[in-house]
Amino acid sequence: MTELRDALRAPEPEVPPIAALRAWLLRPAGPVPVVLLAVVLFARAVRVAVVSTRGGMDNAFVVHAGQVWLGGGAPYADRRFLYLPSAVLFAAGQAALPAPVVRVAAPLACVALITGGWWCAVRLFRVPARSRFAVLGLLGLVLCWAPVGHLVNLGNWTAVGALALPLALLLADRGRWDMAGVVLGVSVAVKPLLLPLVVLLVLARRWRALAWMVAVPVALSVGAALIMPDPGGFFTRTLPFLLKGGDGLMRPFDASLPAVLPRLGLPPVPAAAVALAAAAAGVLCARLRWRRADRGPARLADTAALLMLASYLVSRPSYDHYLVVVVPLLVAGALEVDSVTRSPWFWVALVPQVPQFTFPGLDASTRRAFKDAATLSVLALVLAVRCARPSPGRPPDSGLP
């Protein structure tokens, strides 16, 4: 009789492999992966503290500018200080610390900002912070993706943007747009990398958030300019320096199209035209993605990421560690049904950034920009195509802002 009941019982439905994998990734990570991640992050920061006297080459430029200002000099006398006048206030804060403290604190802060940005990104997509996906995802980015290591090695303030972008999107997703504008404004005051997010606020018609994003860096810059020798140096020296593509130290690492295409034989003027056209197409596709108006955080993440990638295509300089602001945000949405990470081309674009990846003729560090430009261009193209097409089962334009 028991055998008969078992034979008549309806078979349990099979769980699709993708659903089973998603469920496994969302379960809490055990103590071993968490401890391993903590050790890897700490070791990454300690290595920089050991080999660099000022927490990284780029951080050293910032500290030097702060020291010059505290000593009564003009920070823009050094053309390598490429930030707004508001950034001098933050640089002075670092310069006031003892050198041994900066040496240790700068890489630790950089790692903490990247980790915080990843936490905000996974929470944006409602993924538990202690899940296997969150822990193993960050571990994979640190170990298997070179730009994260480059950012920590340099101690570049791009790490602020790596936290500010997902944090601002997380706040916006929860309806706190004004606070998101403040976060973006502070980030721009430190480093104007997230300026393209002005377009996102315009598309969303969040005028108060836009006002905060503009007012914070303007107020801090004006205040700093009033107590700074030669604040006009930002316009007379820094901007022309950037528009010319920097100097011989910067140009070989610049992955923007106006920098890379002339190295491939295209004259500068057509190269600039191609870059502007590509950036404009990216902005148009970002607008199409926003106007799709489907629910969920992917709308915010995709639109913001594409606006950033479009700016990287045309702005000079554009380095590989700028991608740390965008790629973790997209990877954090990998469990979403319509995520761009479902495209194999997304992962193909990241292959050149795998540590120890070599390609004939591109092994020299001065030729690394070609690999970086390939990654940037393919990522922008894949995301633009994904943003331009309508979602399955949804109208291409709902008419919502």
The token pair at 313 is: 């295509």
- 3-class DSSP state for residue 6? helix
- Considering only CA atoms, give the Rg of the chain: 23
Which pLDDT belongs to residue 16? Answer: 65
Which pLDDT belongs to residue 252? Answer: 81
Q: What is the DSSP letter of 356?
A: T
CB 229 within 8 A of CB 74: yes
Closest to 325 in 3D by CA, of 42, 131, 116, 86:
116
For residue 228, CA distances in Å to 64, 89, 237 come to 15, 10, 15
d(CA 392, CA 394): 6
3-state helix, strand, coil in the chain (%, to 5): 70, 0, 30
Which pLDDT belongs to residue 121? Answer: 97
Could you list the pLDDT tens digit for every one of the 401 residues in the chain?
Answer: 555 455 445 455 555 677 787 888 888 888 999 999 999 999 999 998 888 777 777 788 888 888 888 888 888 887 777 888 888 888 888 888 888 888 899 999 999 999 999 999 999 999 999 999 999 999 999 999 999 999 999 889 999 999 999 999 999 999 999 999 999 999 999 999 999 999 999 999 999 999 999 999 999 999 988 888 888 888 888 777 777 766 666 778 888 999 899 988 899 899 999 999 999 999 999 999 999 878 889 999 999 999 999 999 998 888 999 999 999 999 999 998 889 999 999 999 999 888 877 777 666 667 888 889 999 999 999 999 999 987 654 444 433 33
The token pair at 106 is: 């700068």
The token pair at 367 is: 């030729």
What secondary structure does DSSP assign to 9-32, as a single string? SPPPPPPPHHHHHHHHHHSBP-HH
d(CA 337, CA 339): 6
